[in-house]
Structures are given as C-alpha cells and as structure tokens.
C-alpha cells in the first residue's frame, strides 16, 4: 500500500495531544486491527503555557509512532483562533481530499477549550464541502461516509457508544508520556497547568476505568455521533 492510498480512519485534534487524550486507545485499537490511520492536528499548540512549537512537534511525532499511525499532518491553523470560516474550511477540505478517509473522528462541541468547540463545526462542515465537485481545490471530491466525535475534557452528555480499550490502554498512556512538556512530569521546568498536574494525569485512568466499567471492561473510551450507529449484529 503506497502513501497515496486512502486512509481507513482520520482522527482530528485541535491541538497536538488532543487525539491521544480523547481516543488514544481507540486509535491504537484500530491500528492493531490492521486499519490505516492518520492524525490531523489543526494547530501546532503555539499558545500553550508549556513547551515550544518545536518541542510539541517532536512530541507529536513520537506519540504517533507509539500509536502506530501511518501519517500525522498539521494544518497550522492559529492556536486559540480556530474558527469555522471560509479560509479554514478550505484548508481542512484540502487535507480531507488528500487523505480521503472512510471514517472521520473529530472533537465534540461544548468542551473546555474553545478551539475544540470550533473544531467540531469546522471539521463537520469541511467534510460536507469536501464532497462538492464544484468546490475547486484541484483535487477530486471526497466525503468521509462516517463521522464520529470524541471529547478531550468534558464528558457532558451520554455517548453513542463506548469502545473497549483494555488491550490498548497502556499504549495510550505511553503515547501521552511522549508529551514530556505537557503532562505530569516533575522533571520538566515550567509552570504547572491544569493539564500538567498530577490530578489530571490520574484522572485519565479514572475516566477510562469509568467508561470501561459501563460496558463491563477494564478501560473504555466514549464516542459520539449525530445519529444512530448502524449494527449488522448484536454479537
């Protein structure tokens, strides 16, 4: 399979590490099942309190390797300024047509960071527009057939499904540890933030255990959707 082949799944984050926090276990699970997975970060996280753009770029590359994804790209939209406007929609359309995912997983709205809320609507609308033949980007049109959403911080509503990540939870944590500037790391010199606190790090396990318990598994990650999820069997 060459690098120009369509991807089975594209996971989108507003910032480097959003995908790992929200669905790192799901991504690793998909890779283990032989799916070709890519990650799209909308920004470089340049407004973050800790870490430089260069540091975060290296961390994101290391985390992607931990998860086993085939490709990671960055749209270089403004951190803290993600918006569902014409310019940013076109940028995302171009990347969707380049990667051609069958399944798209994007941030859910009403999350703690305003970029996550904006990313939800931006990716949703860009995916629709990417399928319009008369929107010219010098690329063939493409629209992901299935779109799911995930939350980075706030589990505010009941999810459409919970995925068992018991077998890939350790991989998720390993990918998160690659972000040495962002998460709990007493050895890193920088002001403590909510995300870099030990409390937040411990909450990652608590959250995964909670959702796992809801489905009778050790660890789980919730996903959301705009409508019902079609099933071929109850097994």
The boundaries of the domain holding residue 171 are: 9-223
pLDDT score recorded for residue 11: 98
Position 201 in a domain: yes
**DSSP letter string, 206-235:** HHHHHHHHHTTSS-EEEEB-SSPPP-S---
Could you give the CA distance from residue 217 to residue 151 in angstroms, rounded to a whole number? 20
pLDDT score recorded for residue 3: 65
pLDDT score recorded for residue 1: 43
Contacts of 20 (CB under 8 A, 6+ apart): 27, 63, 67, 172, 175, 176, 179
pLDDT score recorded for residue 171: 98
φ, ψ at 106 (rounded to 5°): -130, 165
Position 232 in a domain: no
φ, ψ at 74 (rounded to 5°): -130, 130
H or E element in which residue 74 lies: strand 71-77
Residue 214: CB atoms within 10 Å: 13
- This model's pTM is above 0.85: yes
* Number of domains the chain is built from: 1
Classify residue 199 as left (phi > 0), alpha (psi -120 to 50) or beta. Answer: alpha
Position 233 in a domain: no
pLDDT score recorded for residue 126: 98
Position 81 in a domain: yes
Residue 156: both structure tokens together: 């505010």
CATH of the domain at 212: 3.40.50.10320
Position 3 in a domain: no
Could you give the CA distance from residue 155 to residue 131 in angstroms, rounded to a whole number? 31
Position 4 in a domain: no
Position 52 in a domain: yes
Residues of the chain with pLDDT under 50: 1
Contact (Cβ atoms closer than 8 angstroms) between residue 12 and residue 123: yes
Position 228 in a domain: no
């Amino acid at each position: 399979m060459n690098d120009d082949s369509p991807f089975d799944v594209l996971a989108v984050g507003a910032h480097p590490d959003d995908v790992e926090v929200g669905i790192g276990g799901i991504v690793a699970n998909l890779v283990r099942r032989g799916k070709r997975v890519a990650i799209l970060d909308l920004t470089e996280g340049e407004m973050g309190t800790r870490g430089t753009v260069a540091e975060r770029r290296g961390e994101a590359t290391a985390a992607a390797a931990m998860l086993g994804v085939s490709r990671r790209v960055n749209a270089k939209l403004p951190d803290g300024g993600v918006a569902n406007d014409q310019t940013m929609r076109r940028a995302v359309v171009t990347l969707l047509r380049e990667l051609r995912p069958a399944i798209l997983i994007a941030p859910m709205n009403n999350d703690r960071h305003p970029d996550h809320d904006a990313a939800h609507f931006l990716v949703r609308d860009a995916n629709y527009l990417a399928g319009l033949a008369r929107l010219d980007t010098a690329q063939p049109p493409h629209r992901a057939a299935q779109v799911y959403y995930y939350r980075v911080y706030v589990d505010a509503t009941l999810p459409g499904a919970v995925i068992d990540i018991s077998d890939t939870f350790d991989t998720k944590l390993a990918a998160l540890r690659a972000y040495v500037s962002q998460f709990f790391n007493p050895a890193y010199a920088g002001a403590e933030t909510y995300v870099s606190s030990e409390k937040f790090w411990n909450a990652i396990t608590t959250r995964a255990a909670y959702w796992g318990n809801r489905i009778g598994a050790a660890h789980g990650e919730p996903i959301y959707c705009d409508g019902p999820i079609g099933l071929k069997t109850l097994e």
